[in-house]
Amino acid sequence: MQRRTFLRGTAVAALAAVPLTTSMSVDASAADTPVSSLAALQSAINSAAPGDRIVVADGTYTVPSGGAINISGKNGTSAAPITIVAKSRGGVVLKGERSFVFANSSNITVSGFAFRQSTTLEIPVNCSSIRLTRNDFQHADDGDPYWVVVRANSTKIDRNHFHNKTTTGIFLIVDGPGSTDMAQNTHILRNYFSDHSFAGDNGGECIRLGVSGRALSAANAVVEYNLFERANGDPEAISVKSSDNIIRYNTIRDSRGGIVLRHGNRSRVESNYLIGGEEGVRLYGNDHLIVNNYLAGLSKRALVVGSGTTRDHNSGETQDERRGNDACDRAVIVHNTLFGNSSMLSGESRAYEPRDVVIADNLLVGDSGSLVAMGTTTNFTWQSNILWGAASNGNAPAGGYTRVDPKLVTGTDGVARLSAGSPAIGAATLADPGVSDDIDGDSRGSTRDIGADEYATTAALRHPLTTADVGPNAA
């Protein structure tokens, strides 16, 4: 255990030593088209072919009022995209109302720009395979409330920094065509979301996947390896309002917002770190898997199994009915660690109670209040959970837990993990929860441990993210 903790701490310290603002220039290539004005940039885009790379000279470029940088009818290929890149990351500052306006285009990459616009950057339905990578987004606070809106299929948003918003609005929205469908296969990877300070009760999320009218549509989005810090614009840093999504390997630190499955079904929330903020994970809808998450030091609700104003959303609902909460049914909540939170595992008191939920192989450790404070439930399965600390058991049902010291040891990265001899080792009993490794990337094997951490003596493959792992200069 000591060896693993040392290796984790060394890796985190080394990554933290890399500054986020390091400037990196684009290597020149024979395929490059260098440009140094907006007119030359537009001309190069108009004549671009698959595999071309347009390199914009560093400087500040102000797009005239009513104007835009148009990418229309341009199609790269998956093997040879059309790339528009700043000479150095963050070295090209785009000002004005608009920047890039996409239409009828595919396999386009936009990289390295500092966006300082006042209107939304939209990836419309008639595009596909658009990539925004290694950019810096800080739109005007008095402009459009939404900074980037994705409506196209197969969009990739990776290694960007979204930051410093003080008014209502959302950094990144994924919607889709019409009023009920979702964009498909959006990949949101290794972005840094920081410093959303809107103080209202609603409307300041970092990421919103869908909206209530799209709740029943599958999006198949993957949100992974993103870092959220001081995400204080809304109780939901990641707000999921669609179905069939994966939210994994993210870190939310020192933030008001948490991960909320607000609408939709069949999403997977896996191996996320939520540390030292307010909200944790809250879930509504059906058939979700909540696995391997580490929720620690949260001042409000760590894990909420939601009740509803309706049992299940359906296509015949009114708009007002769709906005209501859908009771959580048939969720599996397994292998999570809740450590030192103000409120640990809790429920709610709306008309429709959650049903048929499995709560198994979780580790709850706290010294105040109640470890379990569920509202009315129906047909819950409680199995082989461990409860510990000065906090009371609350209304955890007898037979669904063991009260025993799990022998946690806090590493140099601040994460409490199992130590040798812990009674949690090898004690998990839920059959085949559909997970092969733990929050750190250690193999679960055939005999699993209780909680998010599988005891190991080797270095972790994953860890709580730092700024060195995300944003424009991430690997």
Share of the chain above pLDDT 70, in %: 95
Range 103-115 average pLDDT: 98
Tokens of 239: 């707000």
**Which domains are present in the chain?**
25-87+90-133+138-165 (no CATH), 168-404+458-475 (2.160.20.10)
How do 53-56 and 32-35 pair as beta strands? Answer: parallel
User: What pLDDT digit, counting tens, does each position of 375-411 carry?
Assistant: 999 999 999 999 999 999 999 999 999 999 999 999 9
Q: In this structure, which long-range contacts are made by residues 139-142, counting pairs with CB atoms below 8 Å and at least 24 apart in sequence?
A: 139/115, 139/165, 140/116, 141/165, 141/166, 141/167, 142/118, 142/167
Q: What is the pLDDT, as a whole number, of residue 23?
A: 58
Range 86-93 average pLDDT: 98
User: Burial level of 86, CB count in 10 A (0-12/13-18/19+)?
Assistant: buried
Evaluated on CA atoms 447, 450, 453, 455, the torsion sign reads: negative
Tokens of 67: 């104007």
Q: What is the pLDDT, as a whole number, of residue 25?
A: 78
User: What pLDDT digit, counting tens, does each position of 137-174 carry?
Assistant: 999 999 999 999 999 999 999 999 999 999 999 999 99
pLDDT higher than 90, residue 30: no
24 or 473, greater pLDDT: 473
In whole angstroms, give the CA distance from residue 178 to residue 281.
Answer: 30
In whole angstroms, give the CA distance from residue 408 to residue 165.
Answer: 38
What count of residues does the chain have?
Answer: 475
User: What pLDDT digit, counting tens, does each position of 330-368 carry?
Assistant: 999 999 999 999 999 999 999 999 999 999 999 999 999
How do 268-270 and 53-56 pair as beta strands? Answer: unpaired
Give the three-class secondary structure for 231: strand
In whole angstroms, give the CA distance from residue 53 to residue 44.
Answer: 9
Tokens of 227: 């870092």
Q: How many CB atoms lie within 10 A of CB 367?
A: 9
Query: If pLDDT is split at 50, 70 and 90, which confidence band does 2 have?
Result: very low
Give the three-class secondary structure for 27: coil
Q: What is the pLDDT, as a whole number, of residue 418?
A: 97
Evaluated on CA atoms 193, 194, 198, 200, the torsion sign reads: positive
pLDDT higher than 90, residue 27: no
Distances, alpha carbon 167 to alpha carbons 122, 147, 201, 376, 421, in Å: 20, 12, 12, 37, 50
Query: If pLDDT is split at 50, 70 and 90, which confidence band does 15 have?
Result: very low
Q: How many CB atoms lie within 10 A of CB 411?
A: 20
User: What pLDDT digit, counting tens, does each position of 289-326 carry?
Assistant: 999 999 999 999 999 999 999 999 999 998 888 999 99
pLDDT higher than 60, residue 3: no
Range 421-450 average pLDDT: 95
Q: Are 146 and 117 in contact (CB under 8 A)?
A: no
pLDDT higher than 60, residue 85: yes
Query: If pLDDT is split at 50, 70 and 90, which confidence band does 470 have?
Result: very high
Q: Are 122 and 175 in contact (CB under 8 A)?
A: no
Q: What is the pLDDT, as a whole number, of residue 320?
A: 86
The average confidence (pLDDT) of the chain is: 94
Q: What is the pLDDT, as a whole number, of residue 239?
A: 98
In whole angstroms, give the CA distance from residue 301 to residue 305.
Answer: 10
pLDDT higher than 80, residue 228: yes
Q: Are 453 and 5 in contact (CB under 8 A)?
A: no
The neighbouring-strand residues paired with 134 are: none
In whole angstroms, give the CA distance from residue 207 to residue 147.
Answer: 11
